[in-house]
Chain A
Amino acid sequence: MINSKEVIWKKDETISLLLKRMNFVFPMIVVKINGRLIKKDKYSTQLINDNDEISVIHMISGG
């Protein structure tokens, strides 16, 4: 689940790859896995497990 919406899980997918797949290109985001904050420098190594609850919070910006 990403932001409470179902997304197909992919084996060996890191946060970076997931963000790319979702086209989440906004630079000011916060990523949490099962409520645990993931620092930006871990995005390219942190793997996602099946059934993980992912939050990708985009800051407001804009306007």
Chain B
Amino acid sequence: MVKGQFSWKDYDAGNTKHEWDLQKIHAAHKVLTEFKYDKNKIEKGFANKTLYINLTTNEIKEKPVTDDMKKKFTGGRGFGLKLLWDSIQPDTRWNSEENDLVITTGPLCGSTQYPGSGKSLCLTVSPSTNIVCDSNVGGYFGPYLKFCGYDALEIQGKAKEDVIIAIDGEASVIRIETAPLEEINTHLVSEQLTYMYSSKDDERSRQRVSVVSAGHGAENSYWGCLNFSFWDIRRKVARIKQAGRGGLGTVLRDKKIKGIVARVDKFTGVENAPENPEAAAKVGTKIQKEIRDLDRYQCNMRQVGTAHLVEIMDAYDLLPCENYRFGSFPKAPKIYSMKFFENFTRVIPDGCWHGCTMACAKTVDSFEVMTGPYKGHKVTVDGPEYETVGCGANMSLWDPKWIIEFNFYCDTYGIDTISSGTAIAYYMEMFEYGILNKERCGGLELAFGNFDAVMQFLHRMADGDTNEFIKVAAKGIRRVKDWLKSKNWGDHQLIEDTGMESKGLEYSEYVTKESLAMQGGYGLTLKGPQHDEAWLIFMDMVNNQIPTFKDKAEALHYFPMWRTWFGLNGLCKLPWNDVEPANNAETDEPSKVPEHLNNYVEYQNAVTGWNINKEELILQSERAYNWQRALNVWMGRGQRRDDWIPYRSMGPVTELEYVSRQERYDKQLAEIINKPLEEIEKMDVGKKVKLVYHHRQNQYQILSDAVYMRRGWTQNGVPTPVKMKQLGFGDEQKMLDFLAKKIQEDEENGLNDWGGVYSGSEEKPSKERRYWESW
């Protein structure tokens, strides 16, 4: 053993120990259904079956994975879209009986040769958006699900009482069991279920169990996340990763699922059965070495995780502070990554799946909880990651311990830190303007920086508090906007413009005011404003690489199509561009990290035995992306009006914001209205805010025009049958007929027309209004 290291057996996380009578808890279970199955041998990354469970009827069955399914949808998120299309109706909502909760793997998920190969993609009809939401997550459940013999798990219906779904890959049996006595909050129930379902009472056996759960917060809000556990044999705790976006945990608890357990009998480095393990290992070894040698000089993910971004975002005016009003803040250095590094357990290399050298999953061990039902307990907190720290800045919480506490309770209550943090920041701004006040907030003084009020809000929400504000606020910004307007408590435009949601989903943590392309990266998306489709701020705002609308549209085509690919395969995005080869700068397109792109082509070919190239890789994504957009349209959304974004993400809503960056805005305004800077400087600030307001909104419409055309959609954002046929959906007649009918209806309603107002030298993307007809 190297000097300074110690045996994992000797490490004690120092957390509060729990004394449970697990035998009694387990004995209270009643088996509702048992399903024995023949476990498929995994071949080339696929188990070739999906598992269907109906909690209303207690039916359990298998569905085949066909070659046609692989060809059209590849795997992972694509399979989820296919299963949903087969199960739901256009009017299915999050709490409908027929809504599916789908957990998928992807052909590369469960590999250990390449870093970041343990991701699951989860999908459902979201309570926030009323359309399909996808969310990716690490942890062991996805790989274990596949090792149990299934490429995806599909859960439909609702149980009558709390249940556990236990997938036992060791005995090849699946059970639905009632679970009356288990805890619900994640840090407890995941530990209980890990102990109860491990085959032996030892660390290695516990490591072969993974649990999906959500807590009381998921039951009482639209922000429920899915927590995926991975047993840490060194800390001896069930650590967790989150599928955070879109309320998937809310759906889990609506189906009365306390936990989904997967247990495997073994796992090896080649459990995913790659066609060519040597080739997979070769390409993997190259990147593993790159991460080991270069990460410390680049993003330093191995030391501080994604929190390394905090100081960078602050420096570039991109860190959301006080509800995205500002992009930097004098107190921000108090929450820079090194402040969290001081709290992280530093001697243990961390990762959420085996073989990931990136090892960005950090923890704070023995954290003493300061508030709420677990006050005084010592716990392991996973994170915080950049987004959660960004929420701290947004709520003006400038103490790392406050952010860790917020992180802990969001996780154990099963709520998304991003949606809850962004929403609370909005409520705080409403509080500052007097639109909300202590009385209207059920006694909470929800002012910026009030940590106690934030935690009280979370505790009361998780406790099912029936106060009107708590109930509405827990449903997110969109519902609060409508509520505030219905009460007539403030200026309606201000209420709309400042709340950072689009499609009903809260924004993640980047300020986009100065990057039109990134505004599109948040708005012109499938599920809502999450940065996993495109992160273009540097390319656009700093590098000035995509100055024209056409350039931006190209980026908003390429990057979403590329990044979708990770979700089709069960991969983490971070090893793509959070580390780069030493010679990346010398390549033609360093932003795309060409060597890594080639790695992924080789990696997928090595595992699946396919023979794709870079172009076909993008085509795989484009198929799934367009199918999801078509699904959105089928469900009554996914059109131009749904891609609209709040003005706070386009520009300065208030005079305070304008004045905080007056030099920048004055200079831009002088160019926009073609007047001398001196004249602009003398203008009334309110008038200047309005001029910028109208200009930027039109810029966004012009961008939308360009992007829709580049993606092969109509001006209303509808994928055309021609495009769908080109992608290989020529035999999906039901969808093709629907799209043709929808486009005709849009024509009759005048919606197939440009959204932007073009003047001067600005050109429309095409001279033909019905440009798609000539394709």
Is B265's CB within 8 Å of the partner chain A? no
Q: Provide the bound-state CA to CA distance between A36 and B313, in Å.
A: 28
Task: Report the Cα distance A27→B298, complex, angstroms.
Answer: 5
Q: In this complex, what residue of A is CB-closest to B317? A: A23
Given A23-B315, A61-B577, A3 contacting B542 (CB threshold 8 A):
yes
Q: Is B451 close to A, CB under 8 A?
A: no
Give the shortest distance, in Å, between B311 (CB) and chain A (any CB): 7
A28 to B590, CA, bound (A): 10
Question: Quick one: which of B316, B544, B547, B591 contacts A59, CB cutoff 8 A?
Answer: B591
Distance of A25 Cα from B310 Cα, bound (Å): 12
A24 to chain B, nearest CB (A): 8
Query: Within 8 Å of chain B (Cβ to Cβ): is A35?
Result: no
Shortest CB-to-CB span from A47 to chain B, Å, is 20
User: B314 — nearest CB in chain A belongs to which residue?
Assistant: A25
Pick from B150-158, B173-181, B533-541, B653-661 the stretch touching chain A: B533-541
The answer to whether the Cβ of B757 comes within 8 Å of any Cβ in the partner chain is: no
Q: Is the CB of B312 within 8 A of A57?
A: no
User: Does B309 make an interface contact (CB < 8 A)?
Assistant: yes
Q: How many residues of B contact A (CB 8 A)?
A: 32
Is chain A's binding surface mostly helix, strand, loop or mixed?
loop
B468 within 8 A of partner (CB): no
A48 and B223 alpha carbons, distance in the complex (Å): 51
Check B297 against A60 for contact (C-beta < 8 Å): no
Given contacts A26-B316, A57-B590, contact A37 B543 (CB under 8 A): no
Asked if B298 and A60 sit within 8 Å, CB to CB, the answer is: no
Per-position binary interface string of chain A over residues 40-60, scored 1 when its CB falls under 8 Å from any chain B CB and 0 otherwise: 000000000000000111111
Q: Is the CB of A62 within 8 A of B537?
A: yes
- A58 and B543 in contact, given A27-B297, A27-B298 (Cβ under 8 angstroms): yes
Q: How far is the CB of B665 from chain A (nearest CB, A)?
A: 16
Q: Determine if B586 is an interface residue (Cβ-Cβ < 8 Å).
A: yes
In chain B between 563 and 621, which residues have their CB closer than 8 angstroms to a CB of chain A?
A: 573, 577-578, 580, 584-586, 590-591, 593
- Among A28, A60, A62, A63, the one with the most B-chain Cβ atoms within 10 Å of its Cβ is A63
Q: Which residue of B lies closest to A30 (CB)?
A: B585
Residue in A27, A37, A55 with the greatest tally of chain B CB atoms within 10 Å: A27
Q: Which residues of B contact A11 (CB under 8 A)?
A: none
- Bound together, the chains give a CA A34 to CA B245 distance in angstroms of 44
**Chain A positions within 8 Å of B593 at CB level:** 59
Q: How far is the CA of A28 from the CA of B578 in the complex (A)?
A: 9
Among residues of B, the one whose C-beta sits closest to the C-beta of A3 is B544
Q: If the complex has contacts A37-B586, A57-B591, A59-B590, are A26 and B312 also in contact, measured as CB distance less than 8 A?
A: yes
Residues of B within 8 A of A3 (CB): 542-545
Asked whether A5 is an interface residue with its Cβ less than 8 Å from the other chain, the reply is yes
| B contact residues around A28 at 8 Å (CB) | 298-299, 580
**Which residue on chain A has the smallest CB distance to residue B559?**
A60
A62 to B585, CA, bound (A): 18
Q: Which residues of B contact A60 (CB under 8 A)?
A: 535-536, 538-539, 577, 591
CB distance from B461 to the nearest CB of A (A): 28
Interface string of A1-43 (1 = CB under 8 A from B): 0011100000000000000000111111010000001000000
A41 CB to nearest chain B CB (Å)? 12
A53: shortest Cβ distance to chain B, in Å? Answer: 12
Q: How far is the CB of B332 from chain A (nearest CB, A)?
A: 13
Interchain CB contact under 8 A, A63 and B535: yes
Q: Flag if A4 contacts B544 (CB, 8 Å).
A: yes
Question: Is the CB–CB distance between B532 and A63 below 8 Å?
Answer: yes
- List, in ascending order, chain A residues with CB within 8 A of B315's CB: 23, 25-26
Report Cα–Cα, A4/B584, bound state, in Å: 22
Q: Are B542 and A62 interface neighbours, CB within 8 A?
A: no
Which residues 516-558 of B have a CB within 8 angstroms of A? 531-532, 535-539, 542-545, 547
Closest to B531 in A: A63
Q: How far is the CA of A3 from the CA of B545 in the complex (A)?
A: 8
Q: Roughly how many angstroms separate A58 CA and B580 CA in the complex, as a whole number?
A: 12
Chain B residues with CB under 8 Å of A63's CB are 510, 531-532, 535, 573
Query: Given A25, A27, A56, which contacts B543 in the complex, CB threshold below 8 Å?
Result: A56
Q: Please report which residues of chain B, range 190-220, place their CB below 8 angstroms from some CB of chain A when the two chains form the complex.
A: none
B596 to chain A, nearest CB (A): 11
From B535, B544, B590, A62 is in contact (CB under 8 Å) with: B535
* Nearest chain A CB to B514 CB, angstrom units: 12
Q: Are A61 and B578 in contact (CB under 8 A)?
A: yes
Q: How far is the CA of A63 from the CA of B545 in the complex (A)?
A: 19
A27: chain B residues at CB < 8 Å are: 297-299
CB distance from B690 to the nearest CB of A (A): 26
Tell me the B291-321 residues at the A interface (CB within 8 Å). Answer: 297-299, 309, 311-313, 315-316
CB-CB < 8 A to B580: which residues of A? 28, 59
Verify B586–A59 contact, CB threshold 8 A.
no
| B532 contacts A26, C-beta separation under 8 Å | no
* Contact yes or no, A30 B547, CB < 8 A: no
* Given A55-B543, A61-B309, A62-B538, 13 extra CB contacts under 8 A: A23-B316, A24-B542, A25-B315, A26-B312, A26-B538, A27-B299, A37-B586, A56-B542, A56-B543, A60-B577, A61-B538, A62-B510, A63-B532
A-B contact pairs, 6 of them (CB 8 A): A25-B315, A30-B590, A59-B580, A60-B591, A61-B577, A61-B578
- 10 tightest A-B contacts by CB? A63-B535, A58-B538, A63-B531, A30-B585, A3-B544, A25-B315, A62-B535, A4-B544, A57-B543, A58-B542
